[in-house]
Amino acid sequence: MKNKYFLLGLAALSIVACKKKEEPVTKSPVTMVVEEEPVDMRYGFNFEEFTVVQDTIERGQSFGELMIDHNADYPKVVKIANEFKDTFDVRKLQFGKPYYILKSRDSIESAQVFIYEQDRVNYTVVDLRDSVVAYRKQKPIKVIEREIAGEISNGSSLYLTLDSLGVDPNLTYEFSQIYAWQVDFWRIMPGDKFKLIIKEKYINDSIYVGFEPVQNAYFEHRGEPLYAFEYGQDSLSQQVEFYDQNAMNLRRAFLKAPVRYKNFRISSRYNLRRRISYYGNRIRPHKGTDFAAPYGTPIISTADGVVVESTRRGGNGKFVKIRHNGTYSTQYLHMSRRSVSVGQYVKQGQVIGYIGMTGNTSGPHVCYRFWKNGRQVDPLREKLPSAEPIAEELREGFLEYIVPIKARLDAIQYPIRPNSLEQEEPVTPLITQTQEDVISEP
């Protein structure tokens, strides 16, 4: 009996074992990763779908001629010329500007899309497919914010020091304009220091396309700290206003010079005992300040005012004289050409003429004369009146606004100068990347 039950159990185990062997083995699925070829997407178009023509505008070449040469539909070309002047004026194609023509991939190869680059950032698209359309766009721009610090060394200048950073040369002009009423940049001293927070713009992560206007800066001139914080605009001139840490306006009623920085040098100062070679090296008072610059350089009014003289007379040559108020007047001599007339109201910074050599002069320059209460004085030694301070109702908000910005400027480190006097290698100014932003294509 025991053998019978033993044999039945053994048979049952055999059946179960056989069933397990018959069950199929389930394998884990294998996922195949197929790498897709990158698509050539530019300006919002898949370039692989077209026959692409890339070239630059030739001298005298017209839009119509260009389109017809590439088999565009003539009525559509006429429509673009007549109906889209505000977006794309076909008469203003500029010689040397790059363009793309995207053509159909068939036997006709007709022009479908025209892409015209105004500059490295801005471009215009003329789409001739279906209903004609033209629109402007910008390439995606990456903005990199940087902190810069430097110190003027012996024999150097603001321009050379900033240039040693490899930053945009136009930054020198931008910086000098902020302090144009405070500092004579041709007389900055070794040891003067600066700090800047700037935003540089790039396309494709590597192509530099300029910088945004400087909003905050610090300049230490002859040991005096000069902060600059952008805050609001002048309601009449729309000029951006900068204020110091005490909410005082950096702008003055008068600019320091009648020529933009970087375009001139002071060749002769106000000097009542100057000897002039033109007059046999005799002492003749020089009651002006000479700003030497290349022939044809624009001359600007140093303040708002009314033109009271615009003429040519004797040794002064062609000149303009401006009355600014009951106290101050200025005069600009030896012009090659005048661009304002008597009775005309001019704004600070407006071009009033151009550097020349008319009258008694041995080289191209403008002699800048400055009257205070009817008497000629040295403008570089005058304590010039300030523009209006910030409105009292805005003062508290401004002082709160600048606290973190001032702290950040103060925290920027200057380059470490060598202790050894024998060390002659120039000190490299500091430039630090701090953060990045991306401006998406609109």
128-171 confidence digits (pLDDT tens): 998 899 999 999 999 999 999 999 988 788 888 888 877 888 89
Least confident range from 34-38, 220-224, 352-356, 437-441: namely 437-441
Any domain includes 38: no
Any domain includes 229: yes
User: Any idea what the CATH number is for the domain that residue 329 is in?
Assistant: 2.70.70.10
Residue 277 pLDDT > 70, yes or no?
no
Tens of pLDDT, residue by residue over 192-201, are 999 999 999 9
Q: Which two tokens stand for residue 374?
A: 């009817």
Q: Which two tokens stand for residue 238?
A: 């729309």
User: Any idea what the CATH number is for the domain that residue 201 is in?
Assistant: 3.10.450.350
Q: Residues of the chain with pLDDT > 90: what percent? A: 50
Residue 432 pLDDT > 60, yes or no?
no
Q: Which two tokens stand for residue 100?
A: 């793309």
Any domain includes 297: yes
Residue 262 pLDDT > 70, yes or no?
no
Q: Residues of the chain with pLDDT > 70: what percent? A: 80
pLDDT at 183: 79
Domain boundary among 77, 107, 138: 138
Residue 14 pLDDT > 80, yes or no?
no
Any domain includes 68: yes
Residue 334 confidence class, pLDDT cut points 50, 70, 90: very high
Domain boundary among 377, 405, 430: 377
Chain position carrying tokens 């990045």: 436
> How many domains does the chain divide into?
3
Any domain includes 9: no
Any domain includes 200: yes
Asked if residue 67 and residue 167 are part of one domain, the reply reads: no
d(CA 263, CA 282): 30
Asked if residue 369 and residue 269 are part of one domain, the reply reads: yes
Residue in 311, 399, 313 with CA at minimum distance from that of residue 353: 311
State whether residue 55 is helix, strand or coil. strand
pLDDT at 425: 47
Tens of pLDDT, residue by residue over 32-84, are 666 666 788 999 999 999 999 999 999 999 999 999 999 999 999 999 999 99
Asked if residue 168 and residue 94 are part of one domain, the reply reads: no
Q: Cα(first)–Cα(last) distance of the chain, in Å?
A: 92
Asked if residue 213 and residue 66 are part of one domain, the reply reads: no
Asked if residue 98 and residue 174 are part of one domain, the reply reads: no
pLDDT at 271: 73
Mean pLDDT across 278-290: 74
Asked if 112 and 129 count as a contact pair (C-beta separation under 8 A), the reply is yes
Residue 30 or residue 339, greater confidence: 339
Mean pLDDT across 357-381: 89
Q: Indicate the average pLDDT of the chain.
A: 83
Any domain includes 113: yes
pLDDT at 430: 55
Residue 13 confidence class, pLDDT cut points 50, 70, 90: very low
Any domain includes 360: yes
Asked if residue 167 and residue 242 are part of one domain, the reply reads: yes
d(CA 133, CA 42): 18
Number of helices (H), then strands (E), belonging to the chain: the values are 6, 26
Q: Give the burial class of 258: count Cβ atoms within 10 A of its Cβ; 0-12 exposed, 13-18 middle, 19 or more buried.
A: buried
Asked if residue 246 and residue 162 are part of one domain, the reply reads: yes
The parent domain of residue 129 ranges over: 45-138
Asked if residue 392 and residue 244 are part of one domain, the reply reads: yes
Residue 78 or residue 433, greater confidence: 78
State whether residue 363 is helix, strand or coil. coil
Domain boundary among 377, 400, 428: 377
Mean pLDDT across 259-267: 75
Residue 436 pLDDT > 70, yes or no?
no
Asked if residue 227 and residue 312 are part of one domain, the reply reads: no
Considering Cα of 348, then 353, then 357, then 363, what sign does the dihedral take? positive
Q: Give the burial class of 192: count Cβ atoms within 10 A of its Cβ; 0-12 exposed, 13-18 middle, 19 or more buried.
A: buried
Asked if residue 230 and residue 169 are part of one domain, the reply reads: yes
Asked if residue 160 and residue 131 are part of one domain, the reply reads: no
pLDDT at 424: 44
Q: Which of 13-22, 201-210, 383-392 has the highest average model confidence (pLDDT)? A: 201-210
Residue in 215, 192, 93, 194 with CA at minimum distance from that of residue 150: 194
Asked if residue 323 and residue 303 are part of one domain, the reply reads: yes
C-alpha to C-alpha distances, 370 to 178, 302, 341, 373, nearest whole angstrom: 23, 10, 19, 10
Residue 19 or residue 291, greater confidence: 291
